[in-house]
Amino acid sequence: MGSSGGSGVSGGARLGEDAPPRLAVEAVSRRYGRSLALDRVSLALGAGEILAVLGDSGCGKSTLLRLVAGLDRPDVGEIRIDGRLVADARRAVPPEARGVGLMFQDYALFPHLTVLANVGFGLKRLGRAEAHRVALERLGEVGLSDRAGCYPATLSGGEAQRVALARALAPRPRVLLLDEPFSNLDAGTRDRVRADTVAVLRQVGASAILVTHDAAEAVEVADRIALMRAGRLIQCGTAEALYRAPASPAAARALGEVLEIEGRAAAGRVETPLGPLPGPAALDDGPVRVCLRPEAIRVGPAGEGRPAHVLRRAFAGSNLRLDLAVDGLSAPLRLNLPHDLEAADIVGLSLVAERALVFPQGMEAG
């Protein structure tokens, strides 16, 4: 059974014993006036790792990227790349000297330059012939060698995104930052371009941070996910670890649908309107919040478990949607179930104990 223990808020990557992380953000805070945009955030990025930073608008994701890129400076804390201090409250290495690549939401391609010239824009430290060779190589990595002489206005959204990726990867940055890179693409194009982008990042062994508000995208793309809420890192880990053992109700909501109900813990047992659960270790007696993913609720015939009155049955594509009235719940319970569920006015509900997540009442930030 999940509990408030979770996997903590550690942002540690899978690193070699002697090697420093590719990127280390250490207890970083940033305040704008009275607003605390980042509050003691610590995380690490390993070599060749893709880390997704997931959270709602205003949670501090973009501020974190700006600090790592060198577009802003922390008020407190340190940022290191390959063990080298690049920013703290007193000093900051300029963006161009950090080895950080940044790919913007709108791609920011120069309309008056060809695709090849756009990709080669950040290679001015190389000789002209070498810059030309490297830019062509990067275009080849994203499958756009044949578009080298074209201008951005002639590209599709997916092609423009891949050119922006090639440009960001052109100087082989130590860390690549991607700020909601797929949000401007339509749904059909987004999945394909996202898969292509991840394939390129894996191919070149890039260490990357992807900022997103889309949980499905984070799960699909990242090795680990850092969950942010109100300027704080509330949990960091693999998608499976966050799904199965969230550190708080907020972390549970971030990675999938949850039903939240009230319960009461006493003598190692939790009573809920949907049935009893064994209490997690070290849980104090008193009110608790129980978070239930769809697979934590079992629906059967009347007489098996707690009775629930069927208020409404509706077709929902691959599933059947039921609205259920349950004694002790202030609002109807909505479930999506297989179509093979027998029609009945009353069904029985029971809980799958190992799938239920129990937290102390009032716990939110983790």
User: How do the domains of the chain map onto residue ranges?
Assistant: 2-99+173-252, 257-360
pLDDT of res. 1: 53
Distance CA 120, CA 136 (A): 9
Distance CA 179, CA 65 (A): 8
The helix (run of H) or strand (run of E) holding residue 60 is none
Between residues 345 and 7, the one the model is more confident about: 345
Q: What is the pLDDT of residues 290-306, one digit of tens each?
A: 999 988 999 988 888 89
Which among 270, 300, 297, 299 is positioned nearest to 285, based on CA atoms?
270
Distance CA 185, CA 158 (A): 7
* Percent residues over pLDDT 70 in the chain: 94
Q: What is the pLDDT of residues 320-338, one digit of tens each?
A: 898 999 998 988 999 888 7
307 φ, ψ (degrees, to nearest 5)? -75, 145
Which among 150, 221, 149, 146 is positioned nearest to 182, based on CA atoms?
221
pLDDT of res. 4: 41
- Cβ neighbourhood burial of 324 (10 Å; 0-12, 13-18, 19+): buried
Which homologous superfamily does the CATH classification assign to the domain defined by 2-99+173-252?
A: P-loop containing nucleotide triphosphate hydrolases (3.40.50.300)
Position 245 pLDDT exceeds 60 = yes
Distance CA 62, CA 39 (A): 14
Which among 306, 269, 311 is positioned nearest to 286, based on CA atoms?
269
pLDDT confidence tier of residue 364, bands split at 50, 70 and 90: low
319 φ, ψ (degrees, to nearest 5)? -125, 170
Position 341 pLDDT exceeds 80 = no
- Contact status, residue 68 vs residue 228, Cβ threshold 8 Å: no
Beta strands in 157-231 (DSSP E): 175-179, 208-212, 224-229
Which among 156, 257, 270, 226 is positioned nearest to 366, based on CA atoms?
226
pLDDT of res. 366: 46
Q: What is the pLDDT of residues 126-153, one digit of tens each?
A: 888 999 999 999 999 999 999 999 999 9
DSSP category for residue 14: -
List alpha helices for 205-288, DSSP H. Answer: 215-221, 239-244, 249-254
Mean pLDDT of 50-78: 95
Q: What is the pLDDT of residues 213-232, one digit of tens each?
A: 999 999 999 999 999 999 99
Alpha-carbon separation of residue 1 from 14, 121, 178, 277, 364 (angstroms): 26, 53, 35, 9, 19
- Contact status, residue 208 vs residue 51, Cβ threshold 8 Å: yes
Partnered with residue 23 across adjacent β-strands are 45, 81
CB atoms within 10 A of CB 248: 24
